[in-house]
Every structure is written in structure tokens, then in C-alpha cells.
A and B are shown apart, each in its own frame.
Chain A
Amino acid sequence: MKVTAGWKWGAVGAVLALSGCVSSGTAEQNQTLSGTATDQNSTTAQTNTTGTGGAKGQLTGAGATFPYPIYSKWFDTYGSKNGVQINYQSIGSGGGIQQLKAGTVDFGASDAPLKADDEKAMPGPVVHIPTVGGSVAIAYNLPGVQSLKLDGPTLANIYLGKVKKWDDPSIAALNAGAKLPSTTIAVAHRADGSGTTNIFTTYLKTVSPEWGTKVGSGKAVSWPTGVGGKGNEGVTGVVKQQPGGIGYVELNYAIQNKLSVASLKNKDGQFVEPTVDSTTAAIAGGLPALQKDIKAPLVNEAGAKAYPIVGLTYILVYKQQKDPAKGKALTGFLKWAMADGQSMAKDLAYAPLPAEVIKMNATAIDAIK
């Protein structure tokens, strides 16, 4: 135990100390620690980019692990082009928000927007800039079943423990012609707090009132049933090895690991597979909501091609920047991320933002002083 608690705080301290050293020194080498690209607690993972000449600016950020692969690519590319050195610690959204609150970083990153209470508790007004979209894929393991179709209420009932067998009439009705076995459904979910869980449970809450009253939504919830796996790899481990397994993972993880994923029935009644395009379509479908509030959830959005379990990941910055030079470097980077940066998203299985959202972001970025 001593080790555990000490390690936690010690690691945070070590990362802080490390980032301090890096940003204060004139780090000459151009290095990118492409550590764990998945959504796990890689406390030590950080990107360090320097320009070829003298650094024009230095920024530090901390937060979400989900966008870490694309962020590290952005920081690296932007840094070598414009000489702005950006250090990012992917310590988790919670840690990023804490550090932004304490003023130890220039920007935070979070998979979920700040709750109203948390936003009030910040020392100043915070601007949410969505950077890319992601979706949550439903992976399953049914030997002999080539494609699986599910709808929201059925998925919620599986995760509520009410639908227990694969040949349940509610699943059979959606998959006419498929030979569904009578195996027990082995439900797997994330055990570690994560933005993926937040998006997934928000979706279940939207499509199932019972889920809303019994469980609710959040980065970690009290699961009615199932096995908890640590990280995407933990959930995948259960699903891949247990015949009859079902679990939810980030889209890019499902693509990399070639998992069988289910098509989900969207708001328009179409069955849609999770892809980068169907994710972008869902963000487009959510535009009316986003135009009212950039923090609106993007689950079960309208659109024939829209995949229903989608979310945005955000960079959080203070509206009033204390250091004008840093503020300028930050807005410079954000503008670049909205333009050149977006074209890099698709290769890494993130969904680029629709033009309308980029326009909204441009207004928000201009408001940062």
C-alpha cells in the first residue's frame, strides 16, 4: 500500500519535475516518446518538440489519454514548423483539469466537457475547443456470426443484465437469418475511469430511461453486470477470448486490432458501422445542438449515415491569458490544428470536425485574449 499511494503521488511529482526541467532548459534534441498510444494511464508519456532554431515559445499541457496519439503528432509537426515547443502529459482528463485549475499548465485536455459546478470552481472563464471526434465501437465474439446488428434499447438491456442469452428474441428480431447461438452473453466494460465509458453510458442513458434511473452516465459508473477490464486491452482480452463476449472499445483500437464490431441502429432507423466517416456524419448531425452549446453530447444524432455513439475531445484554455506571448502561441497552435491539423486525423482513426464546427472554433479562438 505504501508503495501504491507513494507511487501515485511520486509519479505525478516526477512528471512535473521532468516537464519543469524540459521547459526551462533549451532542449536541443527533437524527441517524441511514442509511448502507449491507448487510453491507459501513461503517466510518463510526454511529447517534447523543439524547433530547429531557437524556440519561439513553450507551452505545457496535460490531460486526456484518448487523443494522445494525434496530439503528439500535432505537437511534433507544428513544433518543427513553427518553433513552438509543446509539452503534453497524458495523465488523464481528471489530472489535466486539476493542473489547469492550479495554473501549472497552459492548457488542459479532456474527453468530457467540464461540468457546470467544476467550471464555476475554475479561477477564470474557460473556453472549450473541440479538436477531433471519436466513436465507441461495440466489439463481440460470436463464432459463425459474420455481422451483428443491435439497437440502443437492446444494448442497454444487455448491459443491464436483462438480456442474458445471444438467442434472446430481441436480438433475433434485429438479425433475421443469422444463426445466433444460445450462449450466455459475457458482458465486458472498462474498469478504469475513462472518457470512452462516459460517451458509452451517455448513449445508454439517452436510449434507455431505465439505464438513466438505475445507472446514469459518467467516466466510471456502478455497473449492474459484467466483467471489468483495465483499459481497451483489458476489455478486448475478455471479448476476444470468451465466446459470447461483448464489450465497448475506442474505434481506433477496434480498427487496429481487427475486432468484429456491431452495426448500431441510429436515430433515422439505419444500421451503421462505426467508421471515421460515420463519426464525422454524427458530429454533423449534432450541429444544431453544438451551435447552442459546444459541450452538448453527440450521442444518437440524426442523419442516415450517423453512427450513434460519438463524442468530441476538448482542449481547455483560459479566456484571459496571463502571459500574452503564451496566449498568442496557444491561439496560433489552435488555429493550425483547426486547419492543417484536421487532415492528419483520419490516418489515426480520429474523425475530423465538420466545417461548421471549425468555424465556431475560430470564433472561440479569436475570443481568447
Chain B
Amino acid sequence: MVAEPATSKTPERSTTPERSSLIKSGGLFGNNVGDSIFYWGTMLFAASVLVVCLLIFLQLWKGALPSMHRFGIRFLYTRTWDPVQEVFGALPFIYGTLVSSLLALLIAVPIGLGTAVFLSELAPPWLRTPVSFLVELLAAVPSVVYGLWGIFVLVPALRPVEIWLGDRFGTIGGHDVVLFQGAPYGIGMLAGGLILAIMILPFITAVSREVIRAVPPSQREAAYGLGATHWEALKGPILRYARTGIMGAIILGLARALGETMAVTMVIGNSPNMSWSLFDQGYTLASVLANEFAEATSDLYVSALIQLALILFGTTIVVNAIARLLIWSMVRNTQQGIVRE
């Protein structure tokens, strides 16, 4: 209120010579008022993303405080999750989230990349369009539908496969193979990883295909001109050129896998185990939240759940940061390589 006289003068000031000359000469905001509005407008949109993330973080932090005070750093490495005794530890959920997502990547990346290469480089045109369309259609299926399909179709189909895997590879040379131990219920980490793989496949495929298509034709022509085979042209000039983009596609898939809730919840078994076996049940951070948040009444319980959300938030940031670093170092190496060559 004290500053009122000053603010009332501001409109006059804006017509002062310095300001108008700044606008006329292009200056900070481009050539005209329109550009200036455009600049601030788009910046506001970009900033709103940052603000939303920040608000989510603050809200989660505030909500998680009682749990953080109670359990401290132990929350991250203890394995008990007992709502009755109100003893909470997040380790099995962190483990389940990371393992199911990595499993999904292991399955989806080769398939997705293979599909992308086929569609962009090798497929005849009449096949290209329908297959691309179908791949993108996969992305539009709601996750609860994937989950129900998982329970009623995938899991029963997986059971004999697990029995076969257990019989065939459960023991090799007298040693138990940890990956294939335990009762083959069908519901478990393998089912969770598979359903996630199917869900992230369209993202990896569609983005990779676009990236590979964006490789300049001169790269291909040069390779073929030197007598390269399809495979040689692909692994050298084309995939090398596109690899940062492909990494981006994989990260997009990973981010989706980390946060996916409903479909995984329905098939992963929801037991806070930490087992090497693919047949065993697991539990992910997002699944616990979906399962227990609605009926959690005590304050500490709710707070522990919010802390899980905070950990998921943190995990996503850390995984994305690592992926960015990877891309960054790749880009740098590629550039150096070009300079050297």
C-alpha cells in the first residue's frame, strides 16, 4: 500500500523512451508486442509444469513427515509392512518396482526395437501402415483392461509355461536356478513384467520408428553406396545415428513402467516378498498406494503410504536423471567421434 504512488506511475513509465526503444529494437522480447506476449505466455505454461511438480513434492514431503520422524532412514531398508502393529518399511516395494520395470524393459526393448527397425527399414509399404496402426492401438487400451486380461487370460496361460520352466530349468547340473523356484501360480513377478512389457511396447516402438525414419537418407545411401548389406547399414550408420533418440524411447517406456498401477496390481500377487524367483509374488510402490490408501485410517499409516509416494517420486527422478546422463555422455562421445574421424 505504501508503494501505491509508485505503482500508479508504472503505466506512464512503460511509455518512457528506454522501454519503447527496447521494444522497437527487438531487444529482450523480440520484435514486437506479440512476440513479447508469446514469450511470457509460453514461459508461463512451462513454469506451471515446474510449479505443479514442486507442489506435489511439497505436499508429499509434508504428508510424509510423521512417518519420517518415526522410522527415519530405516524406512528405506526394512522389510516389514504391518498396518496392525504400525511398523512400516519400504524395501520390498522399492525392489518390486525396480525389478518389474527392468523385467519389462528386458522383454520390451528387443521386441520394440526389432519392430521399429522392421517397420521403418524393411517392411513392404502395404504391411507398414496396418502394423504401425495396431502398435499404436495398444497404447490406447486402458490399464484396467490389461489387468483383467492379465488375470483371466495371461495368468492361466502362464501357469503351464512356468511349470515347464521349473521342470526344465529349475535345476541345472544339480544346482537350483533361483529364477525358476517356487509354486507356479501364474500370478507373480513374471506376469507383472510381461504385462508391463506389453504396455510399454507401443511407446518404445512408435518413438523408435520415428527416430529411425528421421535418419537422413544420405546416411543410408552412403552406406549402401559403399556396398553395405541391410544389416551393416542398419547397425552402423542408421542405429548409431538414431541411438540417442532410441534411448529416449526406452526412458519413456521405463517411466511408464515405474508408475503403472492397476494392471500390475492385478497380476503381481501383492505380497511384500523379495525373491529372485520370477514365479514369486511381488509388490510395487504404486500398487501399495492403490490398494491401501482408500481404507487407511490411522495417521501414521497414511503418512507411511505418502512416504511411499515420495519414494516413488524420488525413484522416478533418479532413474530419469541416470538415463539423461547416459544420453548426455552418448551424445558427447558421438560428437567427439565425429570430430576425431
Q: Is there an interface contact between B296 and A94, defined as CB atoms closer than 8 Å?
A: yes
Chain A residue at minimal CB-CB distance from B297: A94
The answer, yes or no, to whether B119 is at the interface (CB within 8 Å) is: no
Q: Mark A1-17, 1 if CB is under 8 A from B, else 0.
A: 11111101100000000
Q: Is there an interface contact between B185 and A2, defined as CB atoms closer than 8 Å?
A: no
Chain B residue at minimal CB-CB distance from A97: B297
Q: Of A2, A41, A186, A217, which is within 8 A of B294 by CB?
A: A41
* Chain B interface bracket (under 10, 10 to 19, 20 to 34, 35 or more): 35 or more
Q: Interface of chain B, helix or strand or loop or mixed?
A: helix
Query: Which residues of chain A are near B266, meaning CB under 8 Å?
Result: 229-230, 234, 237
A193 and B187 in contact, given A4-B286, A219-B83, A221-B82 (Cβ under 8 angstroms): no
Q: Mark B49-65, 1 if CB is under 8 A from A, else 0.
A: 00011001001100000
A4 and B270 in contact, given A219-B83, A222-B83, A222-B84 (Cβ under 8 angstroms): no
Q: Of A8, A227, A230, A237, which is within 8 A of B293 by CB?
A: A8
Q: Is there an interface contact between B185 and A227, defined as CB atoms closer than 8 Å?
A: yes
Q: Of B152, B187, B287, B294, which is within 8 A of A92 by CB?
A: B294
Q: Of B270, B295, B312, which is within 8 A of A230 by CB?
A: B270
Q: Mark A172-193, 1 if CB is under 8 A from B, else 0.
A: 0000000000001010000111
Q: Of A4, A43, A93, A184, which is within 8 A of B295 by CB?
A: A93
Bound-state CA distance A62–B313 (Å) is 29
Bound-state CA distance A93–B297 (Å) is 8
Chain B residue at minimal CB-CB distance from A193: B295
The answer, yes or no, to whether B245 is at the interface (CB within 8 Å) is: no
Q: Is there an interface contact between B259 and A4, defined as CB atoms closer than 8 Å?
A: yes
Bound-state CA distance A97–B297 (Å) is 8
Query: Which residues of chain A are near B81, meaning CB under 8 Å?
Result: 222
Bound-state CA distance A193–B271 (Å) is 13
Bound-state CA distance A43–B293 (Å) is 12
Chain A residue at minimal CB-CB distance from B317: A1
The answer, yes or no, to whether B244 is at the interface (CB within 8 Å) is: no
The answer, yes or no, to whether A347 is at the interface (CB within 8 Å) is: no
Nearest-Cβ distance from residue B20 to partner chain A, whole angstroms: 43
A217 and B291 in contact, given A184-B183, A227-B185 (Cβ under 8 angstroms): no
Chain B residue at minimal CB-CB distance from A219: B295
Chain B residue at minimal CB-CB distance from A41: B294
Query: Which residues of chain A are near B281, meaning CB under 8 Å?
Result: 227-228
Query: Which residues of chain A are near B52, meaning CB under 8 Å?
Result: 6
Q: Is there an interface contact between B292 and A192, defined as CB atoms closer than 8 Å?
A: yes
Q: Of B187, B259, B316, which is within 8 A of A227 by CB?
A: B187
Chain A residue at minimal CB-CB distance from B152: A237
Q: Is there an interface contact between A5 and B84, defined as CB atoms closer than 8 Å?
A: no
Q: Of A5, A97, A195, which is within 8 A of B56 by CB?
A: A5
The answer, yes or no, to whether A80 is at the interface (CB within 8 Å) is: no
Q: Of B271, B283, B294, B312, which is within 8 A of A192 by CB?
A: B294
Q: Is there an interface contact between A220 and B295, defined as CB atoms closer than 8 Å?
A: yes
Bound-state CA distance A227–B312 (Å) is 23
Chain B residue at minimal CB-CB distance from A40: B294
Contact residues of B between 276 and 324, Cβ < 8 Å to A:
281, 283, 285-287, 289-298, 302, 309, 312-313, 315-316
Bound-state CA distance A219–B147 (Å) is 23
Query: Which residues of chain A are near B286, meaning CB under 8 Å?
Result: 1, 4
Query: Which residues of chain B are near A287, meaning CB under 8 Å?
Result: none
Contact residues of B between 18 and 33, Cβ < 8 Å to A:
none
Q: Mark A71-106, 1 if CB is under 8 A from B, else 0.
A: 000000000000000000001111101000000000
Q: Is there an interface contact between B80 and A222, defined as CB atoms closer than 8 Å?
A: yes
Chain B residue at minimal CB-CB distance from A117: B298
Bound-state CA distance A215–B270 (Å) is 17
The answer, yes or no, to whether A242 is at the interface (CB within 8 Å) is: yes
Contact residues of A between 200 and 246, Cβ < 8 Å to B:
215-223, 226-230, 233-234, 237-238, 241-242
Bound-state CA distance A5–B286 (Å) is 9
Q: Is there an interface contact between A227 and B270, defined as CB atoms closer than 8 Å?
A: yes
Q: Mark B111-155, 1 if CB is under 8 A from A, else 0.
A: 000000000000000000000000000000000000110011001
Bound-state CA distance A91–B286 (Å) is 18
Q: Is there an interface contact between B84 and A228, defined as CB atoms closer than 8 Å?
A: no
Query: Which residues of chain B are near A43, meaning CB under 8 Å?
Result: 294
The answer, yes or no, to whether B166 is at the interface (CB within 8 Å) is: no
Nearest-Cβ distance from residue B316 to partner chain A, whole angstroms: 5
Bound-state CA distance A108–B29 (Å) is 56
Chain A residue at minimal CB-CB distance from B313: A1
Chain A residue at minimal CB-CB distance from B87: A222
Bound-state CA distance A83–B183 (Å) is 57
Bound-state CA distance A95–B297 (Å) is 8
A234 and B309 in contact, given A218-B84, A220-B83 (Cβ under 8 angstroms): no
Bound-state CA distance A226–B280 (Å) is 10
The answer, yes or no, to whether A323 is at the interface (CB within 8 Å) is: no
The answer, yes or no, to whether A266 is at the interface (CB within 8 Å) is: no
Nearest-Cβ distance from residue B97 to partner chain A, whole angstroms: 9
Q: Of A91, A217, A226, which is within 8 A of B84 by CB?
A: A217
Bound-state CA distance A215–B285 (Å) is 22
Chain B residue at minimal CB-CB distance from A191: B270
Query: Which residues of chain A are near B151, meaning CB under 8 Å?
Result: 233-234, 237, 241
Q: Is there an interface contact between A2 and B53, defined as CB atoms closer than 8 Å?
A: yes
Nearest-Cβ distance from residue A8 to partner chain B, whole angstroms: 6
Query: Which residues of chain A are near B259, meaning CB under 8 Å?
Result: 1-4
The answer, yes or no, to whether A135 is at the interface (CB within 8 Å) is: no
Chain A residue at minimal CB-CB distance from B256: A3
The answer, yes or no, to whether B192 is at the interface (CB within 8 Å) is: no
The answer, yes or no, to whether A300 is at the interface (CB within 8 Å) is: no
Q: Is there an interface contact between A5 and B269, defined as CB atoms closer than 8 Å?
A: no
Bound-state CA distance A197–B265 (Å) is 18
Given contacts A5-B56, A241-B152, 14 further A-B contacts (CB under 8 A): A1-B259, A2-B53, A4-B289, A6-B52, A118-B298, A191-B265, A193-B295, A215-B84, A216-B84, A220-B292, A221-B82, A230-B270, A233-B148, A241-B186
Q: List 11 A-B contacts (CB under 8 A).
A: A1-B258, A5-B309, A94-B302, A95-B294, A219-B296, A220-B83, A227-B270, A228-B283, A234-B266, A238-B187, A241-B155
Query: Which A residues lie at the B interface, using CB under 8 A?
Result: 1-6, 8-9, 41, 43, 91-95, 97, 115, 118, 184, 186, 191-195, 215-223, 226-230, 233-234, 237-238, 241-242
Closest 10 CB pairs of A and B: A228-B270, A193-B295, A92-B294, A191-B270, A216-B84, A1-B312, A222-B82, A192-B291, A237-B151, A220-B83
